[in-house]
Amino acid sequence: MNAYKQHFLRMAIYNRWAYRQLYEKLDKHISDEDYRTDNGLFFRSIHGTLVHLLLSSKVWYARHVNSPYEEKYPFQLSSYWSRPAHEWEQAVTDRKELRQMIFIECDRWIDFVRQLDTEALMKEDTFTYVDTKGNQHERVRAEVLDHIFNHNTHHRGQITAIITKYAGQDGSPVLDLVAMPKDEFTTVN
């Protein structure tokens, strides 16, 4: 496997690992009340932010595999981007179910990256997709993959700040890429 594809596989595996670290601390230190409280995040609560991460992952995956993303949560998936933040929280209301769905998405991205054509990535393969407002875009696939993994990191950082608010620094997860054990990558490579 060349270094370019290996980078994306490492990021997909890191994404799953970082969610495991995050959920370990959420489960240990964050009550359901604090988990659902409006903490001033863009998507209000920890729950709302995690729902946003799930739904955006589903949308980007559908774009990459060129399939429709009109699942209902309870609204059409693509309509959430025009809805207020509090409505995102209603897409998946059960905390445990949301966790399970996020890990299914993580595994789906790992499998997707494994199947990517290395040569196409190296040649800056582009793909066309329609955004949630109906606008068509053509983007370099590798750049969008970087965006997807960075987007997850961005919002996990927001959640980590809220965990620190409630549980202190000792209760906060360490999510640095270099903190991921090397065998985490080699066992699934």
Residues 6+ apart with CB under 8 A from 150: none
Positions of the chain with pLDDT lower than 70, given as ranges: 68-76, 187-189
* Whole-model pTM over 0.85: yes
| Run of H or E residues at 6 | helix 3-29
How many whole angstroms separate alpha carbon 113 and alpha carbon 107?
A: 10
How many whole angstroms separate alpha carbon 2 and alpha carbon 111?
A: 17
pLDDT for the residue 13: 97
pLDDT for the residue 188: 59
Q: What b/e sequence results for 160-177 when a residue is b if at least 16 CB atoms lie within 10 Å of its CB, and e otherwise? A: bebbbebbeeeebbebee
Cis amide bond preceding 173, omega within 30? no
* CA distances (Å), origin 2, targets 6, 81, 117, 119, 147: 6, 36, 11, 10, 20
Q: Structural domain boundaries of the chain?
A: 3-186
pLDDT for the residue 145: 95
Top CATH class, 3-186: mainly alpha
pLDDT for the residue 134: 84
